[in-house]
Structure 1
Amino acid sequence: MRTRRDFLRKVGAATGAATLLPTFNPLKAQDILLAGEQIAHLSPLQAASDEDYWASIQQAYTASTTIINLNNGGVSPQPTIVQEAQDRYTRIANEAPSYYMWRIMDQGREPIRSKLADLAGCSPEEIAVNRNATEALATIIFGLTLRKGDEVVLTRQDYPNMIQAWKQREIRDEIKLKWINLDLPIESDEVFVQKFTEQFTAKTKVVYITHMINWTGQILPVRKIADVAHARGIEVVVDAAHTFAHLDYKLPDLGADYAGTSLHKWLCAPFGSGMLYVKKEKVKGLYPLFPNVDPRIDDIRKFEVLGTRSFAIEQAIGQAINFQNAIGTKRKEERLRYLKNYWCDKVKDLPRIKLNTSLKPEYSCALANFTVEGMEPGAIESFLFNKYKIHTSPIVWENIKGVRVTPHVYTTLKDLDRLVEAITYLSKNKIS
């Protein structure tokens, strides 16, 4: 077992411009360590329901006391240490912007890259820091060499920004998009594999797979689809926006050639932070979204030529990673799934209530979607907020109608009891 001194030394290690800001408030680090020591004998699954431990984690956030935020799937709040880090870096940069930004903070990207690579389980030479999943995935979509008639397989349930990016390539380069229309939830790996592979032909060059469908929280068996694709010489692009720092896995486990994610979702990094993954042997052949001196170089850094951007945001990613590691990704995953199951189990058998998300652990985690018979998603969302001050997200998309509910590690069981109370009311009363 790690000693307190070892823990504080590790979480206080240099990240980014280390001389400018400690990476972790020692008192808060000690609080998390002590809380973790109390449950060290528990498995991640057992720890998921230890409310004393999670109460200590909740105190690290500045969550509203007047609004119950259950739309963390859109963007997650940051722990106080991340907020403070970004504020501090911003203040320092403003003392002499061109000096502190380009000569000091710019040098801090390499330690951040290494920390992200360690969390992702890959080489630092495969990780680029950018602003969000949309930018990362657009870099891939527009950077791939595709020609007229080449086929790309994707689903109508993918994220809209990325669908539009593929459609732009279809218009510009006359590639062919082959669509899969999923009827969710699906609780069979074989069904997913079949739906993708039956679209593969000799002209298929790329398969685009969303690891977790953002509308309902459906998890796809990415590796099984990727293995079939690679056996046919098809490249694999993965949208990992909703699974990185949410599910316990390493990026190479997915079998992806390319992947993109947002760090301001489940990692709780600053708003406007993201990460691009490109398998080392694929870096040279992928064109950057923003031009540089040599777009064909074999250097992951060619994808970071963005001009002036917020170095404070980049540097504060290090604090978010430390916070993630202090909890532990597997422990976090089990807690998030526990919270989802907590409210879903209480409402799934209520009259007029239907869950649009599987409750099997291999097919969902924090995100879930429900509907009320006879009510539009917008009306449900408005009722939840106006009467109960519960913030959710109404969803109307391909084959999907419902309200998405997304708790996070700071969400309390009392918050979810309030949600259950509201859904129970809706099940028994018709709201005009």
Structure 2
Amino acid sequence: MTNRRKFVQSLGLMTSAFSASSLFQQAHAADFNKMLETKQHLSPAQLAEDEDFWAFVQQGYTTSPNIINLNNGGVSPSPRIVQEAVERYNKLSNEGPSYFMWRVLDQGREPLREKLAELAGCDKEEIAINRNATEALNTVIFGIDFKAGDEIIGTKQDYPNMINAWRQRALRDGIVYTQLSFDFPIENDAQIVDAFEKAITPKTKLLHVTHIINWVGQIMPVAKICAMAKKHGIEVLVDGAHTFGLLDFKIPDLGCDYFGTSLHKFLSAPIGSGMLWIKKDKIEKIWPLVCNDKPRGTDIRKFETLGTRSFPIEQGIGEAINFHNAIGSKRKEERIRYLKNYWTTQVKDVPGVKIHTSFKSAYSCAIAGVSIDGMTIAELDSALFTKYKIHTVGIVWENISCVRVTPHVYTRLKDLDKMVHAIKELAAQAKAKKS
């Protein structure tokens, strides 16, 4: 019995990714600290070009050497310690699911909530943990009370799941869903803010704003849009799927009312993890997407009534936060922006090549779109993979037509060199074919 009690107590320690026994503390903490001590004299922008440091970071990932993955905008791989955490707790769960999940691992959600809130710069009572940005944003889209005639303004360049959610509400409830359209890249905040403001009518209740346009990587002036909306008494819902864990910011500083994100993108958390932030005084009025016994309550946890969930994934989020914090938000942002600029600047002047993304730091970071005259987007996407084993994604959406390329902290310069070589070679072939 004594051994049994000690065993259960040790399991309690294991539930916290933020304890002294976390996988990150065991595997990386000392080495990270030692490495960063030698780099203290470097600014984040300078460290972005320090290949010794990033080679050290790259060792924490297990990505396949047979594929150059440049579609991290879709979903990013997790570091090894995150994968091991999920595997460890999945095995534990299956030793006695209802006991280990509900009585042991479930206790790890509150420390996780605190750490997510710390990273987001907000009150922990404003954070709900769920499965992805679609679930987070749909919670607000379907949970906020609107009546027939109420207007929501978004854009044609928003994510399809969000567009379809608003269209569904329009069909069901008779709300008016208005979409603006932008030709990106745009390097003028006022142009974007003014477009939203001019579209506002007396019936406008909410603006739906995508923080980074997932198709081409345009960073939207969210704080300025929110400040403008506040003057008109209008709420703002922000789709932050591609910014949390990438850009160095705090959610409350945006000035929005609601924010949803996927954690399995640039935070490198386990696949199928997300987060919802709702300004504290707004929680009560939002209905949960899934039933809860207090649907009009003020407890943010009412949005987590999902039934049986993956507790191992939640524990893995904690280790992803540890890995992210060790790098540092600003260092990470600057490195990924450097990688984007590294390859785009080398091909932007190649005849026939077009970059569909701004080169200015205020308007882009990780994602960039590229196209080649004489090749369809499908042909370019296919050629990059079949000839060079470079995995990207072809984008044909509204007025956007390009191949999206998205590196991450584990991306090596030599792999981007292959990307540059591939673009130059394909552009030359396309030009020769036309002539």
- Check the 8 A contact 1:15/1:318 in 2, yes or no: no
Change in CA separation of 1:68 and 1:278 when aligned onto 2, cut-off 3 Å: same
Gaps of 5+ in 2: 1-12
Q: 1:29: Cα distance to partner?
A: 2.2
Counterpart of 1:202? 202
Q: Are positions 1:30 and 2:30 aligned together?
A: yes
- Aligned partner letter, 1:232: H
Rounded Cα–Cα distance in structure 1 between residues aligned with 2:271 and 2:245: 15
Rounded Cα–Cα distance in structure 1 between residues aligned with 2:99 and 2:15: 19
Gaps of 5+ in 1: 1-12
Q: Are positions 1:319 and 2:347 aligned together?
A: no
- Check the 8 A contact 1:17/1:104 in 2, yes or no: no
Q: 1:256: Cα distance to partner?
A: 1.0
Counterpart of 1:364? 364
Counterpart of 1:4? none
- Aligned partner letter, 2:302: K
Counterpart of 1:375? 375
Residue pairs, 1:249-398, within 5 angstroms: 249-398=249-398
Q: How many residues align?
A: 420
Greater share of residues in helix = 2
Rounded Cα–Cα distance in structure 1 between residues aligned with 2:69 and 2:294: 45
Q: 1:116: Cα distance to partner?
A: 0.1
Counterpart of 2:403? 403
Rounded Cα–Cα distance in structure 1 between residues aligned with 2:382 and 2:326: 37
2:53 counterpart SS class:
helix
CA deviation profile, 1:317-339 (whole Å, cap 9, x unmatched): 11000000000000000000000
1:283 counterpart SS class:
helix
2:113 counterpart SS class:
helix
CA deviation profile, 1:251-293 (whole Å, cap 9, x unmatched): 0111110010000001000000000000000000011000111
- Aligned partner letter, 1:258: Y
**Percent of matched pairs sharing the same residue:** 59
1:24 counterpart SS class:
helix
Counterpart of 1:59? 59
Change in CA separation of 1:199 and 1:15 when aligned onto 2, cut-off 3 Å: farther
2:91 counterpart SS class:
helix
138-147 vs 35-44, which moves further: 35-44
CA deviation profile, 1:351-393 (whole Å, cap 9, x unmatched): 0000100010000001000110121111001101111100001
- Check the 8 A contact 2:17/2:318 in 1, yes or no: no
Counterpart of 1:5? none
2:238 counterpart SS class:
strand
Counterpart of 2:184? 184
Rounded Cα–Cα distance in structure 2 between residues aligned with 1:426 and 1:18: 48
Rounded Cα–Cα distance in structure 2 between residues aligned with 1:283 and 1:211: 22
Rounded Cα–Cα distance in structure 1 between residues aligned with 2:300 and 2:21: 27
Rounded Cα–Cα distance in structure 2 between residues aligned with 1:338 and 1:386: 27
Rounded Cα–Cα distance in structure 2 between residues aligned with 1:294 and 1:128: 15
- Aligned partner letter, 1:76: S
Counterpart of 2:245? 245
Rounded Cα–Cα distance in structure 2 between residues aligned with 1:236 and 1:139: 14
- Aligned partner letter, 2:30: Q
Rounded Cα–Cα distance in structure 1 between residues aligned with 2:47 and 2:260: 30
Rounded Cα–Cα distance in structure 2 between residues aligned with 1:16 and 1:197: 46
- Aligned partner letter, 2:175: I
Rounded Cα–Cα distance in structure 2 between residues aligned with 1:19 and 1:205: 44
Alignment root-mean-square deviation, CA = 1.5
TM-score of the aligned structures, taking structure 2 as reference length:
0.95
Change in CA separation of 1:18 and 1:27 when aligned onto 2, cut-off 3 Å: closer
